[in-house]
Amino acid sequence: MSRVGKNPIKVTSGVKVNLNEGLVRVEGPKGKLSFKIPSGIVLKIEPTSVQVELASEDQSSAIQGTIRSQIQNMVTGVSEGFTRELDIVGVGYRAAAKGKVLALTVGYSHPVDFDIPEGVTARVDGNTHVVLTGADKGQLGMVADKIRGVRPPEPYQGKGIRYTNEHIVRKAGKAAAGSK
């Protein structure tokens, strides 16, 4: 039995949830999202809640919790939205948002222009703090990971692009290793 999957999803005011031919559509003030429901899952949609159930008892309940979490993220995304924050660490490293392009200067011989996809917005605070916001949690995480992949933090000096509050395990350099 899936403990997560049995919990109902609370639908806040201003959010509409529709099911049409196996496709769940969630609309709210922050946007519209859709998700294809796999066979064997039944949704009971009420005005203030959504219940995810299995079509038959002999099915695996693992998918029930996964689908419930996906729909919960959609409802939260269109009502409140999600945020991911990145910090740029390094001498001369900086970022600038120019419309739908994030210009990163991170130690290469040229600036890296990263195109922000539709549905995600980027804001730069103080040249080194990037704030990404969007309604789709999965898309937001993928965009943040791709930006981090432009210059991942290195373990010796800690320079690079990292998530805010990410702990980087630092290594000792050659001088410290030879002194033992």
Average pLDDT estimate for 62-78: 92
Residue 60 or residue 20, greater confidence:
20
Taking residue 57's Cβ as centre, other Cβ atoms within 10 Å add up to 7
3-79 and 82-163 agree in CATH topology = yes
d(CA 134, CA 82): 6
**Count of CB atoms within 10 A of residue 17's CB?**
21
User: At 162, is the secondary structure helix, strand, or coil?
Assistant: strand
pTM beyond 0.85: yes
SS (H, E, C) 78-136: HHCCEEEEEEEECCCCEEEEECCEEEEECCCCCCEEEECCCCEEEEEECCCEEEEEECC
Q: What would the pLDDT profile of 105-156 be if each residue is shown by its tens digit?
A: 999 999 999 999 999 999 999 999 999 999 999 999 999 999 999 999 999 9
User: Could you name the CATH architecture of 3-79?
Assistant: Alpha-Beta Complex (3.90)
User: With 70 as the cut, is the pLDDT of residue 157 above it?
Assistant: yes
Residue 155 CA to residue 173 CA, distance in Å, equals 10
Q: Using pLDDT thresholds of 50, 70 and 90, give the confidence band for residue 2.
A: low
User: How much is the mean pLDDT over the chain?
Assistant: 91
CATH topology of domain 82-163: Outer Surface Protein A; domain 3 (3.90.930)
The yes-or-no verdict on residue 86 having pLDDT over 60 is yes
For residue 52, which phi and psi values (nearest 5 degrees)?
-100, 125
Residue-range domain boundaries for the chain: 3-79, 82-163
pLDDT bin (cut points 50, 70, 90) of residue 180 is low
Residues with Cβ < 8 Å from 38, sequence gap 6 or more? 63, 67
Percentage of the chain lying above the pLDDT 70 cut: 96
pLDDT digits (tens, 9 = 90+) for 6-35: 899 999 989 999 999 889 999 999 999 999
